[in-house]
Amino acid sequence: MTKISDETNVEKIERKSKKNMLLGTILGYLAIAISVCYGLFLTPEIVDAVGETDYGLYGLTSSIAVLLLMDFGLTNTIYTYLARLRANNDKKGVETFTASIFKLYMMLDVVFVIIIAVVFFISPYIFKAYYVDGAPIDPFNFDVSLPINKLRYLLLIVGGFTLISVPCSCFSAVMSAYEKFGMIKFADIVQKALYLAFSIVAIHMGWGIIGIVLVNVLSGLLAVIIRILYSRFYIGIKLDLRLNVAKQDLKNILSFSGWGFVVTLCSRLVITIAPTILGVISNSAEVTLFSLVVTIEQYIFMVGEMMSSFFMAKIARNDATGSEEEKREHLQNLAEKIGKLQFVVIALIICGFVSCGQEFVLVWMKGKGELYNIYWCIVIICSYEVFHIPQLALQNAMYTRGYIKPYAITQIIKALVSLGLSFTLGSYFGAVGVAFGILGAQVVELIATNIVYRKYLKISLRHYFSAIYIRGGITMAISIGVGLLLHFFLHMEYHMFVQFLIIGVIVVITYGLCTIFITFKKDERKYYVSALARVMHLDKFLKKDNKNETKEIENKE
């Protein structure tokens, strides 16, 4: 009797998990859509309102904050450990771990405060270019009319928000461990929507760059408060700072975080450092071009990987019970199902960009032909994402099962290869050469990570790739073929924006139809329709329709 009850509870958890994942995915893409709208449409308005110099100050402030206030790999550590604890139904362990990590972040905050204070006072000596008309350097001059002091105040605002938000990331991790993805993304939507609305108000009211940054911080704080209250009163996780994890556990956590820091650092050394490399070996035009490439690449990656973190709790739950063979089989099935979904999303983006990315770049850059190489750089770099993003579930499994060291080694190899190839090829071919250098490093990473996945996760890579890429590859080929063929009929006959829309719409429709009837099998189509119906609360109507169809068939018989 107990066994039946346990099975029923497991089924209930799985059903809720699937519903939460789908709801989180829908809301997540809505949040991304708001971000893209902001990034592509509102950013030029902000630049016009505050001027290129002030907007550059904000960009510089953000980059300083990111470099100084790194989480040292703790974010992925938190997700991993909380997912394990929740899988074992250890609520007390969740509260103890959350309290310990929160205190650890608070100790790091003390260090960060000192760093921010030091940078605040020495910034006039570091960024001399932001003094006007050769004004004397004075670290105790706080006149806001000086660009250098705007930079300092922005650093205080952004740094202060980061000092609050980083420790509170524990609550986002708790919500992820309990698979409350819909609420996580709802908080993101609230933050981004408020930022979008308040930024428009700030622009029209003439509040300047400091006002725009302040409304950004306030909207972020509101999202943080939503997550804290939800974790405390809905999930029921108390933050008791008197609780402490065992010393050995803390040692393991810090060791795990150390390798997590290596992964984070090496990831940043590939694409985000590319503009700096070009600044050393090339010219400012190539730097500007690749900076725009980084912007688009980040949006593409964000769309593709959005739902990857949703499955860490499920992987941990599957690893909590069963034999090694059962765990391997569960992971294989789950990774293939997740990978196929992520492939469908990222392949659509790549097909669209290959087909009408030239028109997009020219429209976005207002016809500036000198930036046309953005298209080729994006195609070169993002072609790899078709293989990388569908494997993020395997990357999460490496974290969840504690195999972070071998994965970190693959990232070190990728970073070293990328640096070598980027410097070499970039010297001859500029931004395009750096893009090829990054692609070469990504191919090395793909080979290395798959060797690691096969060795530690024991999955069948042949079955994995055939399940995802055979049917999906046919869909991609048809969609790209249709998109490129359209250029022969539309080239130079329409306005560029109209041409972009026509090709884009036709490619999306072609891709959608091919995905439904080629990429997805019949049972997969049924599964996703029923899952969407549950989220939209239409499952009752579908059941009624199915019953009516059954009765009609019986009456005919």
- How does DSSP assign 135-154, residue by residue? PPP-TT---TTSHHHHHHHH
As a residue count, the chain comes to: 557
The reported pLDDT for the residue numbered 7 is: 43
- What's the mean per-residue pLDDT of the chain? 77
What is the phi-psi region of residue 62: left when phi exceeds 0, alpha when psi lies from -120 to 50, beta otherwise? alpha
**H/E run at residue 12:** helix 2-37
Give alpha helix (H) positions in 458-521.
Answer: 461-490, 496-514
Structure tokens at 367: 């016809």
What are 57-115's pLDDT values in tens digits? 666 666 566 555 555 556 667 777 777 777 777 888 888 888 888 888 888 788 888 88
The reported pLDDT for the residue numbered 109 is: 81
Beta carbons of 374 and 224 less than 8 angstroms apart: no
pLDDT of 549 strictly over 50: no
The reported pLDDT for the residue numbered 480 is: 92
Residue 268 confidence class, pLDDT cut points 50, 70, 90: low
Between the CA of residue 493 and those of 355, 480, 488, 490, 498, what are the distances in Å?
17, 21, 10, 6, 10
Nearest Cα to Cα of residue 203 among 65, 59, 55: 55
pLDDT of 459 strictly over 70: yes
pLDDT of 542 strictly over 90: no
pLDDT of 284 strictly over 70: no
Mean predicted confidence (pLDDT) in 524-532:
71
Supply the DSSP symbol for 520.
S
pTM of the full structure: 0.69
Q: Which residue has the higher pLDDT, 13 or 445?
A: 445
Beta carbons of 426 and 277 less than 8 angstroms apart: yes
Supply the DSSP symbol for 128.
G
pLDDT of 478 strictly over 90: yes
Residue 181 confidence class, pLDDT cut points 50, 70, 90: confident
Give alpha helix (H) positions in 38-146.
Answer: 43-50, 52-68, 74-87, 91-126
Structure tokens at 186: 């709802």
The reported pLDDT for the residue numbered 72 is: 59
Mean predicted confidence (pLDDT) in 404-428:
89
Q: Which residue has the higher pLDDT, 464 or 318?
A: 464
Give alpha helix (H) positions in 231-323.
Answer: 247-268, 274-281, 284-305, 312-319
Q: In whole angstroms, what is the distance from residue 393 CA to residue 415 CA?
A: 21
Burial of 496 (0-12, 13-18, 19+ CB in 10 A): middle
Structure tokens at 319: 């690893």
Q: Which residue has the higher pLDDT, 133 or 237?
A: 237
| Own/partner pairs, 540-549, CB within 8 angstroms, 24+ separation | none
Q: Count CB-CB contacts under 10 A for residue 118.
A: 11
Between the CA of residue 136 and those of 124, 130, 140, 146, 527, what are the distances in Å?
10, 11, 11, 11, 69
Q: In whole angstroms, what is the distance from residue 255 CA to residue 77 CA?
A: 10
